[in-house]
Each structure stands twice: as structure tokens, then as C-alpha cells.
Amino acid sequence: MAWACYNPSMPDTPTFDELLDAIELLPADQQADLVDVVRRRLAERGRQQVVADARAARAAYQAGKTQARSVDDIMREIES
């Protein structure tokens, strides 16, 4: 069972359980390498999301859709 490239739109995409079974066939050092790669990719995806959120917030502020507020104001709103 070899998948050259993961593509969610492909009908023969392996299931999660199939992927786990395939990973079990790897030597321990390759499994550890895989964990490292996945963690780095998830961290990068998280960083990209933070950047996208910041850009969207800045655009909303510049468009006048939001306003500057103090931390105290925000905390009062959250607590109410």
C-alpha cells in the first residue's frame, strides 16, 4: 500500500486507520521523523493562521468595522 501523494479529493485516499497501519510498518526512527515533520507542519499552519487573522483584523480596523478599545473594556465585556 503506497500512496505517492495525499489528495483528499481522490476516491482511493487511505483512511486514517490505513495510514496508522502503514506507519506501524515503518522503523521506529522513521516513525519519530514522521512525528517531527507533522508537528512542524502543524506549527507552520498555526503560524499562517495567526498571520491571516492579524491581516483580517487590521483590514477590519482600517475599514472602520472595529474600534480601538482598552483591555479593561474588553475584560468588562467578557465578564458581563
pLDDT in tens, the chain (80 residues): 455 566 666 668 899 999 999 999 999 999 999 999 999 999 999 999 999 999 999 999 999 999 889 999 999 999 99
- The pTM score is 0.65
* Alpha-carbon distances of 12 from 7, 16, 23, 26, 57, rounded to whole Å: 9, 12, 18, 21, 39
* pLDDT value of position 78: 95
Rounded Cα distance, 70 and 25, in Å: 55
Neighbours of 71 (CB within 10 A): 7
Q: Give the type of residue at 50.
A: V
Rounded Cα distance, 29 and 47, in Å: 27
